[in-house]
Chain A
Amino acid sequence: MAAISLRVNGQSHTVEVDPETPLLYVLSDELRLRGPKFGCGLAQCGACTVLVQGEVRRSCVMPVGAVKLQEVITLEGLGTPEQPHPIQRAFIEEGASQCGFCLSGVVLTAKNLLDENPKASDEEIREAMTSILCRCFAHKRMMAAIKRYQSGRR
């Protein structure tokens, strides 16, 4: 056990945990965040995705001790229900989910890609989403929401 300091969604936290603990468990159990979720624990599905210092990371396999003071952003850190982030608004407008459990991976991966490469081609978008899973298969609407966010950025 060690005292570990973290910066999550703009706030500082100190938690008392084993530094090997995956970041995901700290976010959900200690900080009680609901965005990132345990899907597989194997970095295969994307449900646990967060942004660490602006990069897409799978928090289920990232030891919290390795995060240091890098800025962590979760799905709820993007916007609020009252003021959703433009990509969240695009997903709301397209009705782009069913159960919604997978959304952290879908939304944050797409945001990261399009913020870095606003003119990403459809193929580049597909490439970025190859290891993101949605088992309700809301693929059609999710892709439409991603395109909507992309066209809004231009």
Chain B
Amino acid sequence: MKKEISRRDFVRASGALIISFSALGGAAFLDPLAIAQGPFDTHPSHVDPNKLDSWIAVASDGTVTVYTGKCDFGQGMGTVQTQLIAEELCLSIHKVKLVQCDTSVTPDQGTTSGSQSTPTNFNTRNLAQAAATAREALVAMAAKKLGLPADQLTVENGVVSAKSGRHVSYGELIQGKQFNIPVSATAKRRSPNEWKVLGKPVPSIDRVPLMTGTFEFVHNVQVPGMVHGRVVRPPEVGATVESVDEKSVQNVPGMIKVVVRKNFVGLVAEKQWQAAQAAKHLKVSWRPGPGLPAQRDFYDSMRKQPARDVLLVNSKDVDDKLKSASHVLEATYFHPYQAHGSIGSSCAVADVRSDRATLWSATQSAYPTQHGISALTGLPLESIRVVYVRGSACYGLNAADTVTYDAALLSQAVAKPVRVQLTREDEFISENYGAACVIEQRAATGANGAIDAWNCEIWSASLGNRPEYDKPGNVITGMLAGFEPEEITPKAASEPAEELHNRNNAVPSYMRGCVNGKCGGAGSIGSERVLTHTVKSPFFTGPLRSPLRLQNTFAHECFMDEISAYVKADPIAYRSQHLRETRITDALKAAAKAANWDTRPSPSSATARTGKVAGRGIACVAYEGDNGYAALVAEVEVDQQTGTVQAKRFIIAHDCGPISNPDGLRNQIEGGILQGTSRALGEEITWDERKVTSIDWESYHTLPLGIEVPIIECVLIDRPEAKATGAGETAITLVAAAIGNAIFDATGARIREVPFTSDRVKAALSARS
């Protein structure tokens, strides 16, 4: 039996043409410098990202197969990457076939996340650059064949033509051969002015199979001989296995095996229903966990824990300025743990044999998962293949990674292919939640009303994270099986030394963000200090759409609103007064115009103390400092009797550089705004003394389809000359802040804790002076 699935075999089997398969094993390519590129970038593997053939294969019939390490979770990356290749190679999208995230054949592009797929693959590196290289190479071949200079040739639909009418197709040029050239750093990308496919509202390529129920999700993967697994998670946080009574399920029909590995418990049966029944009946004695901190004062206890502290900016004059100021504003904001809550519980199929393994997984991290499976199973890295198959959309680190580990452990124990799907409760207690945060703000205003100094302290709770290449204990299955999660080592902050990259939006946009004379912030406030404290979380945490950026922006944008209300300034004008970054002020202007913004301070003077009142709020952001710009106006109605908040209308101005697909972009913005609304109004992980209690859709509150859907208007700011940025997380980042500010505008009540439940709104209303 072969140990390795060769890229050549795969490509043959998939019907496309030969391309290179490096004879060198994985480790031979490891270059410490390249590894240091971070989690989202291209890493060396057996598929060399420097070779053109690693990305693109042109078949003799002119069809193009593309190998990408950035996959589509339902947010449209598949469609736009297909457009990108069609554009650069001057083809119809129907000629392009995309192979996504398969460790046998695609380049290692780390994790598909962090709004980094567009910046990584749509600028002048990686996939885009490979496509430009391929076009130039094909045109050069045509020039040679036709005996004409390349600049006298044009390309259309995969055919290179001379003015005389002589022409040659890609298929004729490549004749089933490889390119055998490196990706060129100087190949010229097609200018946005010439775009025929990219930049157009191409409908999503998966819409027909999705709507007709024929699309294959990872949940639909069927492998010959496949059986079904279920997991039995600890009934409370931190519980450990004392004993497992395998006899308790020996009479369940179809039962194959109970699998225990340290604190991991699972089982395998012939059919899914049998596995579900067995999981219900399996008797496990658990040693109790250490118990959980009370949810009631969790935000207080967070701030008393030892922490890993980081000073991001510190102008060292903030304390003095706050001390001498005639007035200091202070406010503390709270954001809860929230779930990814994918609509489908996570699922994976594993086929682990004594000498090899194949995993079908919806992970965002195919290559890192290959490493994790190697650690869990003891199999050598090169004998493991991870194939990405789309799952229910994840919005970050849901349970897709951990269920892949579950499937691997169970399959290895029975030496058969095993499909594992989590129950809804398993999903809620197995995922890495978006972090709980407490954010304390203090600011002083000067005689002219402008902000003189701003101090911000941020506490966030953390345990585990993405497993990356070497930390399988960062998700629950790895931890249960004996691997340690990433620890928070308490450490005092040292003075900021590195130039500010505002990746977590921890630094408010209004600060200059100066470190050693270099000012990476977007604003004008020079007296600035931002100190972050990371403390140990009782629950696993990880990236959830706009991780920390959303929590921080909620606190910054609400506090900015509080200051502008205090100085009786219009909140948009006041923001603009403190901003240097014109891409934010442009977005503010565009949103204000589209919303027909009434320039005045908040709260609205029309505010009545009873009944239903309406208000509007603004929030803006430079996402991750430079990865997308937006301003959002929210219009809400607050029922002061019941405390319910209804979002009526959103107007957003959105700038992500050159727009790859305006229809896909609108879809992302609309979804992001409504998901943000759901998170702002209802979503919160809850727990008691021992366990998580938000375990289904009655105890975790999401906005159903039957709501009165607010009007959403998008102003798309296209900047063809700029670098392409991400666009999947910018809109959602602003929603809680914009709604919170609109509630204040409507009622004069400031609500500083997410979610804005009716009880909290009523409490804020009765606290009004």
Contacts and interface: CB of A to CB of B under 8 A. Distances in A.
Interface stretch (B5-13, B42-50, B578-586, B700-708): B700-708
B214 A95 contact: no
B671 A22 contact: no
B222 interface: yes
Interface in B198-214: 203-204, 206-214
* Residue among B74, B206, B423 with the highest chain A CB neighbour number at 10 A: B74
Interface string A134-154: 111111111100000000000
Contacts of B706: 126-132
B477 to A, nearest CB: 19
Interface string A8-51: 00000000011011100100110011111111111011010000
A66 to B, nearest CB: 14
Interface size class of chain A, counting residues whose CB lies under 8 Å from the partner chain: 35 or more
* Residue among A75, A79, A136 with the highest chain B CB neighbour number at 10 A: A136
A133 B214 contact: no
A55 interface: no
B424 A39 contact: yes
Given A75-B212, A140-B712, A143-B709, A134 B343 contact: yes
Contact of A135 (B217, B341, B708): B341
A41 B677 CA distance: 26
Interface stretch (B185-193, B387-395, B498-506, B614-622): B387-395
B674 A81 contact: no
A91 B706 CA distance: 17
A126 B342 contact: no
Contacts of A76: 212-214
B697 A40 contact: yes
B667 A138 contact: yes
Nearest to B395: A135
B529 to A, nearest CB: 37
Contact of B216 (A34, A44, A136): A34
A1 B74 CA distance: 38
A48 to B, nearest CB: 10
A59 interface: no
Contacts of A21: 271, 273
Given A21-B273, A37-B344, A99-B393, A134 B709 contact: no
Interface in B463-505: none
A103 B211 CA distance: 7
A38 B345 contact: yes
B663 A45 contact: no
Contact of B671 (A32, A33, A103, A136): A136
B348 to A, nearest CB: 13
B393 A101 contact: yes
B696 interface: yes
Contacts of B677: 137
B421 interface: yes
A77 B75 CA distance: 26
B526 to A, nearest CB: 40
B273 A98 contact: no
Contacts of B204: 95, 97
A77 B704 CA distance: 25
Given A37-B219, A128-B706, A143-B709, A99 B390 contact: yes
B670 interface: yes
B566 interface: no
B293 interface: no
Contacts of A22: 273
Contacts of B228: 29
B40 interface: no
Nearest to A98: B74
A91 to B, nearest CB: 5
Contacts of B195: none
B271 A39 contact: no
A133 B697 contact: yes
A24 B341 CA distance: 21
B343 A102 contact: yes
B684 to A, nearest CB: 16
Interface string B210-238: 11111111011010000010000000000
Contacts of A32: 220, 222
A65 B697 CA distance: 27
A47 B712 CA distance: 26
B211 A97 contact: yes
B705 A142 contact: yes
A78 B273 CA distance: 27
A142 B343 CA distance: 16
A92 interface: yes
Interface string B511-549: 000000000000000000000000000000000000000
B320 interface: no
A78 B345 CA distance: 25
Contacts of B668: 98
5 contacts: A22-B273, A97-B207, A106-B705, A139-B674, A140-B712
Interface of B: 73-76, 203-204, 206-217, 219-220, 222, 228, 253, 271-274, 341-345, 347, 390-393, 395, 421, 423-424, 663, 667-668, 670-675, 677-678, 696-698, 702-709, 712
What 6 A-B pairs are tightest by C-beta distance, nearest first?
Answer: A99-B74, A35-B213, A75-B213, A99-B393, A76-B213, A100-B210
